[in-house]
Structure formats: C-alpha cells, structure tokens
Amino acid sequence: MARRFAPYAAVLSSRIRAQRSYRLSFASDLMGALLVGLIEFAEVWVIFHNARVLGGLDLNAALLLFGLSNTSFALAQVLFGHLDKLPTLIRLGTLDAYYLRPQPLLLQLITSEVSLRRMARAAVAVVVLALGLVRNDIDWDAGVVALITLTLVTGVALFGGLFVAAAGCQFFLIDGAELTNSFTYGGSFAAAQPASVFPTPLKLLFCYAVPVAFTAYLPTLAILGLPGPSLIPSWLAWLSPLAMVWVWLAALGVWRLGTRHYQGGGG
C-alpha cells in the first residue's frame, strides 16, 4: 500500500520544497492569505457589531459559525483548491500528459500540488473557532466534542467534493471558472451566514442541494442548544456524513461524465 502511494507523496514533497525555496515570495504569499482571512472575519465582526443579533445568532455564536465554516473551507482549499487550475490545463493541452501516467487522473490532480500559503487563512479560522468555543456557554460533554470533530472532518470533505464537482464541470465549459466558483467560494460564504435569514428556496438549496449548512450552521445550533428554523431543524447536524456522501456521489458522477466527454487538447 505504501509503495502504491509513493509517487503521489514524492510529487507533494517536491511541491512543498519548491514553495519554501523562495522564502521572501513564500512569506508574501502567507501574508496575503492571512489578510484575506482577517478581512473575511472583519466583515462578520462589522455586521454583528451593528446588528447585535442576526438570524437568531449573536456575535459569540457568529464566531463559532465563522470558525467552523472557514476552518473546513480553508483546509479543503489546501487539499483541493488547486483543482481551480484545471481550465488552464485543458486550454493549454497540458492535461493530456496526466493521461499518460498509470495513475487515476483525479488522484494525480489532487496530489499535484499543495498550497501552503492557504494555511495562513486556516490559522485565522482556527483562532476564531477557539474564541467561539470559549466565549459561548457550551454544555461540554462527549457528544459536543464528537459533533465538533465530526463537523470539521466532514466539512473539509464536503467542500473538497464541491471543488471536485466544479472541476468536473470544466470539461463542458469554456473558461467557466467564475460560474463554478459560485458554488465553491459562494458556498463558503453561504456557510458562514445564519441560514435562517435566507428565503425558503435558498434554505433548501444550501441545506439539501448544496448542503453547506451542514458544515457550520446546523452544528452551531446543535452545539449551542438552539432550535433550527423551519425545514432545517438543528438535529440534522448529526447527519453531516450523509450530506458529505451525497456531495461526493454527485461530484464523482460529474467528474466521470467530464472525463468521458474530454477528447484531448487537439494540439
């Protein structure tokens, strides 16, 4: 088993060494990602500093909501975010080189790069999550710990599935990254908002079709012992593995259709 994954580990190791070779550039990339995370948090702080309560959540609850959603998304970005480059590979015809290697195409692309700079954004989210856990009155027990762990693991996997689904769509679209980003990065934004403020169609979209509500909003309600709005009760937070499986089934289906549709760069 170890020998089977050795080529992927070697590629990842080389990418990590390459990013760290140019220290000034690496430091500037880290600082840029850190600023992005801080700006996103500042938006939440400004909104709840003025509104006080939004969608039944106060600032302390919003910290937990933001921390859960952004930690999951930032880590998914580190592992899967470079799939955004697939349209460039298709357009330049360089994707064909991946087909010549005796490994699965998707696994090659996932392990072809890891963006360490995005860890800075994840660090901001982890700090905010820690503040949210400290500042809220949480009735700590084994169930709460299990739910937090389950939420983070399935949240990373769920956002990863969205990146794979978005990549699969690129085989049918021409420079369609902006469209698919509405489901990946737009999904991340929606996950950090109280879903109770959405109209009913958006509640159904973000809970059942593109179920980003399972990455933060529903777990926040369950952890704090708050009731959920109509159509999305808080006990659904425990079903996040099912939401993750649904996303990956859809993502792998789209990916399979896309790769079967692809006929080469034509160069």
Q: Which residues pair with 54 in a beta bridge?
A: 57
pLDDT-derived band at 213 (thresholds 50, 70, 90) equals very high
Q: What is the pLDDT of residue 228?
A: 82
CB 185, CB 66: distance < 8 Å: no
CB 215, CB 155: distance < 8 Å: yes
Write out pLDDT tens, residues 69-110: 999 999 998 889 888 888 888 888 788 887 777 788 888 888
Domain spans, the chain:
24-261
Q: How many CB atoms lie within 10 A of CB 75?
A: 24
First CA to last CA distance, the chain: 36
Q: What angle do CA 133, 160, 209 make, to 5 degrees?
A: 90
Q: What is the pLDDT of residue 266?
A: 57
Cβ-based burial of 34 (10 A; exposed 0-12, middle 13-18, buried ≥19): middle
Write out pLDDT tens, residues 243-257: 999 999 999 999 999
DSSP letter at 205?
Answer: I
Q: What pTM was estimated for this model as a whole?
A: 0.88
Most confident of the ranges 14-18, 29-33, 186-190, 245-249: 245-249
